[in-house]
Amino acid sequence: MIDGFLSDAGFFSLPNVKRVDAAPLPVGLLARTHSAGYLEKVRYISATGEGEIDIDTPGFKGIYENAAILSGATVTGVRTVMSGDVEHFFSPTGGFHHAKYDAGGGFCVFNDIAAAVYELKEGGLSRILIADFDVHHGNGTQSYFYEDPEVMVISFHEDPEWMYPHEGYVKETGSGPGLGYKVNMPFPMDSCDGVYRYAFDELVPPLIDFFRPEFILFLPGFDTHYMDRLAHLRLTTHMTRYIAERMHTSAHKWCGGRMGVVTGGGYHPDSLSWGVCTVMSVLSGREYKPPEQKPPFMDDAETWAIVRENVRQVKSLVFPVLGM
């Protein structure tokens, strides 16, 4: 589907865009990312078609191989960037941020984000930013690096009080040496572009400039769009462009351009196609303009009050710990 969106928009004909064949997650990297017991479970389901990864993630024959290649695309992208062959990569199959060391869930089997971080660390990097704007909190990814100051995770997501996976509260800021390096900014239902941009401007640029990342892994959050079927935020593709442009600028400011984009969620074909093509236009420089959009709501006074208070709490919990 995403391949068709990008092809129809003409991105594959650009001289600065190249397609790279994905390789499965290497066995050694997969063994570092997930426990032996969990991998054995996935292999059994894959061989027999019996069982499930989790209550919301059914198993099927071949699921091990399928997940290994889907997640492997992200690591392939990392290796392509680190080789100097390209500055950025965009993996249309990546973003399985709910998978944990010993469990899957939320449609996620293997955590490609965690695997990518381990690959980057193996390559000598020690300041890796995960900028996760998916509407669902990346609880799996956070669990890997909760005590790790070399990995900053900034997550904007819908309020976990009612949104899966019911993690990602403001108070979750890391522990031990990782305290302050996990930043969670939840939004109430019906939040629109205005409050989202306010929170982004208040939190993300100063955190990035403090951390000075060497590589950025970016989930744009296509499922925050007002047309998406699995969530309740009311953003437009204008906000997708706003965030993507600033993450792209930060990558060139701090990382020598090194950035990887993974699709994550997105469950309406129109808003997904607009978002994907918008991000590709930022990465490639090709002009792209999605249709005009009008969300059904505007930010009201209550939404503004909640978001301002959440931003205040994030700043009070994170900024002093980091010495900002």
pLDDT digits 0-9 by tens, 253-302: 999 999 999 999 999 999 999 999 999 999 999 999 999 999 988 999 99
* Rg, the chain, Cα only: 19
Q: What is the mean pLDDT of the chain?
A: 97
Tokens of 272: 């997904």
pLDDT band at 1 (very low <50, low <70, confident <90, very high): confident
Sign of the Cα pseudo-torsion (89, 135, 313, 167, in order): negative
* CA proximity to 101, closest of 139, 134, 127: 139
The CATH number of the domain where 312 resides is what? Answer: 3.40.800.20
Residue 168: is it exposed, middle or buried by C-beta count within 10 angstroms (0-12/13-18/19+)? buried
pLDDT band, very low/low/confident/very high, at 10 (cuts 50, 70, 90): very high
pLDDT confidence tier of residue 83, bands split at 50, 70 and 90? very high
Q: In 3-state terms, what secondary structure has residue 186?
A: strand
The catalytic site residues sit at 98
Q: Find how far residue 72's CA is from the centre of its chain.
A: 16
Average pLDDT of span 194-207: 98
pLDDT digits (tens, 9 = 90+) for 202-251: 999 999 999 999 999 999 999 999 999 899 999 999 999 999 999 999 99
Distance CA(17)–CA(131), nearest Å, equals 23
Which pTM value belongs to this model?
A: 0.97
DSSP SS3 for 185: strand
Count CB atoms within 10 A of the CB of residue 286: 16
Q: What is the pLDDT of residues 114-148, one digit of tens each?
A: 999 999 999 999 999 999 999 999 999 999 999 99
d(CA 40, CA 38): 5
132 beta partners: 155, 219
| Residue for token pair 């031990």 | 176
Residue 210, classified by CB atoms within 10 Å of its CB into exposed (0-12), middle (13-18) or buried (19+), is middle
Print the domain residue range for 70: 2-322
Strands 259-262 and 215-219: parallel
Question: Across-strand partners of 185?
Answer: 156
The predicted pLDDT at position 48 comes to 98
Give the residues across from 175 on adjacent strands. Answer: none
* Mean pLDDT within 169-182: 98
CA distance linking residue 121 with residue 125, whole number of Å: 5
Total length of the chain: 324
Q: Shortest CA distance to 128 belongs to which of 145, 147, 151, 95? A: 151
Three-state DSSP class for 58? strand
Q: What is the mean pLDDT of residues 72-88?
A: 97
Cβ atoms within 10 A of the Cβ of 84, count?
9
Domain count, the chain: 1
